């Protein structure tokens, strides 16, 4: 039975965020262990399939055409190249490939058809496929679902109150509408934000309110630390401290207990000890690879070495949550039911524990 709470207030979340650190860590770790295997981390690889030239004015983004950055733009990647990159990611331990295109919104036509073929191609590799392509219509979301898309990323970025200080070319409501369109399809939602953009702690709480009051809550919530890029309006922002990241991860874990909390941008500025604290606080997903679209990221071999030191294991693809399974459940060759769960992909099977839950719902 889900234990999601959907009526969080900013005051409640601020109270959690501001707890004494040891108390906050203990509570977050306790929640994390209740819903997830603390030694399992989902690994995703982020691939920029179309870089630069975006018409938006997001203050943090070096891909905006109006800013003078060193980003070298490129046209939409070929399907064969995407497949090669996906195979490389799979060999390195990733269970998901996230494809990002620097678009304001998806436009029907040859390029979208090419993206759909990329989704179908990666899906056949027994990997989860995620896309972040900007705003989506309900019909486009359904076409992506039919192609086998597992997740769609559309970050809120920050609170509704601070949003206009970050971007003016798209409204906060536009982001919520895209998330709603994704929810109408058989695709899971990935939505989070960025800290360190000059926002107040109240804005961080406000962003979590917006995410945690969604019903259902997002299956994945990336927590990014701003990577200040020269040439963007936020180039002079000071990096957030590891303590701010730990508090944000822990608070996210407590208010969204079943969600996978992704430790995203900014990991190159974190020590292994700092990342370990984030995992302890409830982070159970990372991006692997030497680049996150356009910003630096730890080398995948460094991440695997860190996993070895911490005793962490990469999560297998198409797992709802990293929840420990009983031996009986693991041994059962999962029998599919008539109605597929929203988080499954075509052909996905479910565990005996999940089957029992589904039967209860059908009754």
- Binding residues for [2Fe-2S] cluster, as ranges, are 98, 130, 190, 262
Q: What is the rounded CA–CA span in Å between residue 4 and residue 258?
A: 7
Handedness of CA 305, 325, 249, 247 (dihedral sign): negative
130 is catalytic: yes
H helix or E strand, kind and range, residue 222: strand 220-225
CA distance 65 to 75: 14
Annotated active-site residue in 96, 143, 183, 190: 190
Q: What is the DSSP string of 109-143?
A: SHHHHHHHHHHHHHHTTT-EEEEE-SB--HHHHHH
Active-site residue, from 61, 175, 204, 345: 61
Active-site residue, from 54, 96, 143, 253: 54
Alpha carbon distances (Å) from 149 to 132, 153, 221, 340: 11, 11, 17, 15
Residue 61: active-site member: yes
Catalytic residue among 33, 96, 130, 143: 130
Instruction: List the catalytic residue out of 58, 96, 143, 278.
Output: 58
96, 98, 175, 253: the active-site residue: 98
- Chain-centre distance for alpha carbon 26: 24
Residue 265 main-chain phi, psi, to 5 deg: -60, 145
Q: How far apart are CA 272 and CA 252, in angstroms?
A: 21
Binding residues for [4Fe-4S] cluster: 54, 58, 61
262 is catalytic: yes
**Three-class DSSP category at 44:** strand
Write the DSSP symbol of residue 325: -
Q: Return the active site residues.
A: 54, 58, 61, 98, 130, 190, 262
């Amino acid at each position: 039975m889900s234990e999601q709470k959907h009526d969080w207030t900013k005051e409640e979340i601020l109270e959690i965020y501001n707890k004494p650190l040891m108390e906050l860590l203990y509570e977050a770790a306790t929640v994390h262990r209740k819903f997830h295997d603390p030694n399992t981390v989902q690994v995703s690889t982020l691939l920029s399939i179309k870089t630069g030239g975006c018409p938006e004015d997001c203050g943090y983004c070096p891909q905006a055409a109006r800013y003078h950055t060193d980003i070298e733009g490129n046209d939409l990647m070929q399907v064969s190249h995407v497949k090669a990159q996906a195979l490389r990611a799979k060999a390195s331990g990733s269970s998901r490939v996230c494809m990002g295109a620097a678009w304001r919104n998806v436009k029907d036509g040859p390029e979208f058809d090419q993206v759909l073929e990329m989704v179908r191609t990666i899906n056949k590799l027994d990997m989860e496929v995620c896309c972040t392509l900007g705003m989506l219509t309900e019909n486009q979301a359904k076409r992506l679902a039919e192609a086998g898309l597992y997740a769609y990323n559309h970050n809120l970025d920050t609170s509704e109150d601070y949003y206009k200080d970050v971007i003016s070319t798209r409204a906060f409501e536009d982001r919520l509408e895209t998330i709603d369109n994704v929810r109408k399809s058989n695709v899971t939602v990935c939505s989070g934000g960025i800290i360190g953009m000059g926002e107040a702690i109240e804005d961080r709480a406000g962003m979590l309110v917006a995410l945690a009051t969604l019903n259902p809550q997002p299956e994945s919530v990336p927590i990014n630390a701003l990577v200040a890029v020269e040439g963007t309006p936020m180039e002079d922002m000071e990096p957030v401290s590891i303590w701010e990241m730990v508090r944000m991860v822990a608070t996210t874990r407590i208010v969204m207990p079943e969600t996978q909390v992704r430790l995203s941008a900014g990991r190159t500025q974190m020590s292994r000890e700092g990342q370990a604290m984030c995992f302890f606080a409830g982070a159970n997903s990372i991006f692997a690879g030497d680049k996150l679209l356009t910003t630096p990221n730890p080398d995948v071999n460094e991440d695997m070495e860190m996993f070895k030191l911490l005793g962490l294991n990469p999560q297998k693809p198409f797992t709802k949550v990293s929840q420990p399974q009983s031996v009986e459940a693991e041994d059962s060759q999962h029998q599919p039911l008539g109605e597929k769960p929203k988080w499954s992909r075509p052909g996905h099977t479910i565990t005996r524990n999940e089957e029992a839950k589904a039967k209860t719902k059908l009754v």
